[in-house]
Amino acid sequence: MMEISVIIPVYNASEFLEKAVDSALQHDEVKEIVLIEDKSTDNSLEICERLASDNSKIKLYRHPDKENHGAGATRNLGLEKAESEFIAFLDSDDYYLPNRFDAEKEIFKDPKIEGVFGAIGVEYLSEKGKEEFQSKFKNISLTTVNFPSEGKEVFKGLLGLTDKVFGTFFHLNALTIRKSTIIKNSLRFNENLRVHQDSDFIIKLAYHSYLKSGIIDKAVAVRGIHDNNRITKIVKYSSQYNQRQLLLWKSLYDWATSEKLSSEYRKRIYLSYKSFDLSLKSGLKKYVQIFFEGLKNPQILKTQYRFTYLNR
């Protein structure tokens, strides 16, 4: 039987935490739940302490200085503490469904597979949260990809480099990975990103590791949507949205350069990075024009803005 460590970063999650933990405990494959408490201002720490004292599978850790370090550093501490062969993630305001590891049980029998991802659904926990989520993501009820894929096709799909439409994305809650690929490729969450460090991690993971889609036509986990979801509070294409996207793609561009990715990959990442950079300087209308023209023909960017990188 698989043995899985579930990493749950905890910050101000007192209202949801027990449901998240219980949803992981229902799975026999889950050998430990790693709670990393990140200096909450509510009573999350007390709940963590009680849960850990009640069940030996639940282990509680804090940062050495007991200060708040953000989701990236908190997940990194979880990676250091996790002891099982396989690692899964769960946000403290979300929960797993009974089918969460059904695909993994079969797919991981193939030793070349280093990660499996599936789909997650949504549950609206407040009207305000629902309004904010739907204003940004319309009526998306399933975060998933549009076709089964594996290997480099996953990485290309995340960058929009496949002939098929890859869909939106897959969520960290629906990802299970071998710990060995984390160690082998020295993978960590970017602690400088306050948001989108999960997207940054997933793209880098897809490049270095052999991933395969699992259950993508129905949810294996559920994302709780409420008033305090950070990701739904930012209006799409606002200056704050563009700034956060710029930081994400700048992180990926620096990584792609240091890893010496192929010119095809670097160009695509560079295009996204410079698109958001230009959007902050030129305004929304100009950004949209540049972005979609650039997707059709990256040389347009070279002609208009002399991006000499595109010739490398």
Per-residue pLDDT tens, the chain, 312 aa: give them.
899 999 999 999 999 999 999 999 999 999 999 999 999 999 999 999 999 999 999 999 999 999 999 999 999 999 999 999 999 999 999 999 999 999 999 999 999 999 999 999 998 776 666 666 655 666 677 888 888 999 999 999 898 887 665 455 799 999 999 999 999 999 999 999 988 999 999 999 999 999 999 999 999 999 987 666 655 555 555 678 788 889 999 999 999 999 999 999 999 999 888 888 776 765 555 555 555 555 555 544 443 343 333 333
- The answer for residues whose C-beta is within 8 angstroms of residue 263's C-beta and 6 or more apart is 312
pTM to 2 decimals?
0.86
Residues of the chain with CATH 3.90.550.10: 4-232
CA–CA distance, 244 with 167 (Å, rounded to integer): 21
Please give the CATH architecture assigned to the domain spanning 4-232. Answer: Alpha-Beta Complex (3.90)
CA–CA distance, 97 with 142 (Å, rounded to integer): 14
CA–CA distance, 149 with 220 (Å, rounded to integer): 17
